[in-house]
Homo-oligomer: A and B are copies of this chain.
């Protein structure tokens, strides 16, 4: 059954509910666009804010039926579970402090869950959630949206198929410094959770963006980070959390690497990129120029890999929608997470094989791996030593 046939066979769009992501939420708007793009799913319910008035206003702006705008996620689970047309998938867009509890609730009700990163606020929660996922029937994925880029997937294909030989060095960074990140807001009460030590400790930077850079290098290489040393620091005045993190890491296959996360790389608008070096060449990818992958092979020049090549893998072609030469951008990368998730849920219910989609999605084990790194990085920083990443 080819991808375009799945919706017709399934006979309806997937029903989705959001927890969080209401009016004013940048990431909420992004999820909405990603959800809509392919016409495979529709938003039918939500608990769009912890503030009930804001939740209701958000629901009205989206033309949601009032009775499916819930004041809290527990009520949402109960009511949606009881409806014949209840949601298939819950999307968790709250701050990380609540992810574990909410995700376990929806999974226990038999629903699938798409969860924002970092997967949880603590390693202990991640371990518990992993068990919950493994004993549930629903699908669980983490929206590490950058893995949705076709060229990130092509990088994974190339690395894993041996195009670079054995992997030796891995450079990952998410080092930005746009104005809103670079300085603390005048009014501390308007701080995003990422700048509150109460959200996930002083190392929230590692959860907010360090999780992406860790995830993407593991996603592409297939190797787990197994040890870490760390230098964490705070640059911005009046900031209560770290805003720069230098990690030097080792990987399971013996490769070495560096992961850099920063909010104070002044002037960089985004800053996610990776470079992966093997015995026979290297690959470079930058999120601000995401349509291309740069392949360097000693003595053979540098090749710009794009979707428009006869050799492009099926794995990355499946993550595209339009012809080469038309940049697809971040929102379609994000939409690929939704599309893979929707197809995986539909295929599974139709009794079809969903292994391609599941292979492409960051799962609970990936989220757990990141939470292990975070804990180890803090320990490494505090001890001034290299620390193994538990597992």
**Chain A residues packing against B (C-beta within 8 Å):** 4-5, 7-8, 11-13, 23, 26, 29-30, 32-33, 36-39, 60-63, 164, 168-169, 176-179, 182, 229, 231, 233, 235, 244, 246, 248, 256, 258, 260, 262, 264-271, 275, 277-282, 287-291, 295-306, 308-311, 321-332, 384-386
Copies of the chain in the assembly: 4
Contacting pair A265 B288 (CB below 8 A):
no
Contacting pair A32 B39 (CB below 8 A):
yes
Picked from B33, B269, B321, the residue with its CB within 8 Å of the CB of A29 is B321
Picked from B38, B309, B384, the residue with its CB within 8 Å of the CB of A33 is B38
Contacting pair B304 A308 (CB below 8 A):
no
Beyond A266-B278, A266-B282, A300-B311, 7 additional contacts (C-beta under 8 Å) are A7-B63, A36-B39, A177-B282, A182-B298, A269-B308, A269-B325, A299-B308
A386 contacts across to B, CB distance below 8 A? 384
A301 contacts across to B, CB distance below 8 A? 303-306, 308-309
Given contacts A37-B36, A288-B291, A296-B266, contact A322 B327 (CB under 8 A): no
Q: How far is the CA of A251 from the CA of B246 in the complex (A)?
A: 15
A-B contact pairs, 13 of them (CB 8 A): A8-B60, A30-B321, A37-B331, A179-B299, A179-B310, A182-B298, A248-B248, A265-B277, A268-B325, A269-B306, A270-B325, A299-B310, A327-B327
A260 contacts across to B, CB distance below 8 A? 258
A308 contacts across to B, CB distance below 8 A? 178, 269, 299, 301
Q: How far is the CA of A328 from the CA of B23 in the complex (A)?
A: 20
A231 contacts across to B, CB distance below 8 A? 229, 248, 256
Q: Nearest 8 A-B pairs (CB), nearest first? A: A329-B329, A267-B296, A270-B325, A269-B325, A326-B330, A299-B310, A302-B304, A327-B329
Minimum CB–CB distance from A20 to chain B (whole Å) comes to: 17
Picked from B229, B267, B330, the residue with its CB within 8 Å of the CB of A297 is B267
A322 contacts across to B, CB distance below 8 A? 26, 29-30, 330-331
Given contacts A169-B244, A267-B302, A330-B326, contact A61 B277 (CB under 8 A): no
Q: How far is the CA of A250 from the CA of B81 in the complex (A)?
A: 56
Q: How far is the CA of A311 from the CA of B289 in the complex (A)?
A: 23
Given contacts A39-B62, A266-B298, A302-B267, contact A331 B321 (CB under 8 A): yes
Q: How far is the CA of A33 from the CA of B32 in the complex (A)?
A: 13
Minimum CB–CB distance from A268 to chain B (whole Å) comes to: 6
Residue of B with least CB distance to A267: B296
A244 contacts across to B, CB distance below 8 A? 168-169, 256
A11 contacts across to B, CB distance below 8 A? 63
Q: How far is the CA of A265 from the CA of B168 in the complex (A)?
A: 9
Residue of B with least CB distance to A279: B266
Q: How far is the CA of A244 from the CA of B296 in the complex (A)?
A: 18
Residue of B with least CB distance to A233: B256
A38 contacts across to B, CB distance below 8 A? 33, 36
Contacting pair B288 A267 (CB below 8 A):
no
Which of A5, A39, A326: most chain B CB closer than 10 A?
A326
Given contacts A36-B36, A308-B178, A321-B29, contact A277 B266 (CB under 8 A): yes
A278 contacts across to B, CB distance below 8 A? 266
